[in-house]
Amino acid sequence: MTEVAADVPLSLFHLLDPEVLANPYPLYERLRTHDPVHWDPYLHAWIVTRYDEALGIFRQLGDDQGVAWTLRHQGDIARDQHDFELGEALYLQSLAVFRNLGDAWSAGSLLTDLGGLTLSHGELSRGIDFFRQATDAFQQHGGHRRGLARVLEGFALAASLGGDAQRAIRLAGAAAALRNALGTPLTPAEQQQVTSGLEIAHAQLSPAARSQAWSEGWTMTLDQAIEFGLDAGV
């Protein structure tokens, strides 16, 4: 892969080079190391490559949207580094800003991630509560169906973790049917996460019982699936 020569001025303009775009990380590393707050002479814009600096700038500018998204991305990093407490704290700070902005879609997406984060830490009831809040947020956003598919998958994983295998498979089937209708399949990483989370439920049911539960979920209407998911833990 071609790297940007050290004597060439730093700029994201170099991403137009297909070979640089195929492996942009050396360019990003140079920006972070040598000029984390960089004036790009080609783009005529400031480029900020460290989240702490970006957060400070957004706060100075009073850009709450930028603050919310930066906090969220920092939460993603903490989550990926398995720092549960920091990840949750950053997510909750971001959520508060999104709610203050009236951004229901971003709040719903973040609440879904909070549900998944708390489930991964074994906090079943809190995870379910976050998924319920996410459902409400997506419905406020006009019933955002792709977001609701993620919520149904979250409810399915919660049911599997809680030992309700039939509920888990039905909800997974409902989510899969919704994704099929939308033409938005899970990414390989998302599919792996769902498959792994449903292992407990799969182990508790016979192949025939799994097939029946899946079919029952697949044929639910969206309203039926949402109502079924919201009953989790009742």
Is this model's pTM higher than 0.75 or not? yes
The predicted pLDDT at position 179 comes to: 95
Of 94, 147, 164, 155, whose CA–CA distance to 129 is shortest? 155
What local confidence, expressed as pLDDT, does residue 9 receive?
66
pLDDT of 136 reads 96
- Angle in degrees, 0-180, between the axes of helices 165-182 and 145-161, rounded to the nearest 10: 160
The predicted pLDDT at position 36 comes to 65
| Residue 160 and residue 138 in contact, taking contact as beta carbons nearer than 8 Å | no
What is the DSSP track for the chain? -----TTSPP-GGGGGSHHHHHS-HHHHHHHHHH-SEEEETTTTEEEE-SHHHHHHHHHHHT-HHHHHHHHHHHHHHHHHTT-HHHHHHHHHHHHHHHHHHT-HHHHHHHHHHHHHHHHHTT-HHHHHHHHHHHHHHHHHTT--HHHHHHHHHHHHHHHHHTT-HHHHHHHHHHHHHHHHHHT-PPPHHHHHHHHHHTHHHHHHS-HHHHHHHHHHHHTS-HHHHHHHHHTTT-
Q: Quote the pLDDT of residue 141.
A: 83
Taking 50 as the pLDDT cut, the residues of the chain under it are 1-2, 234
**46 pairs with which residues across the strands?**
39
pLDDT in the model for residue 56: 81
Q: Distance (Å, rounded) from C-alpha 205 to C-alpha 199? A: 10
pLDDT (0 to 100) of residue 32: 66
Rg, the chain, Cα only: 21
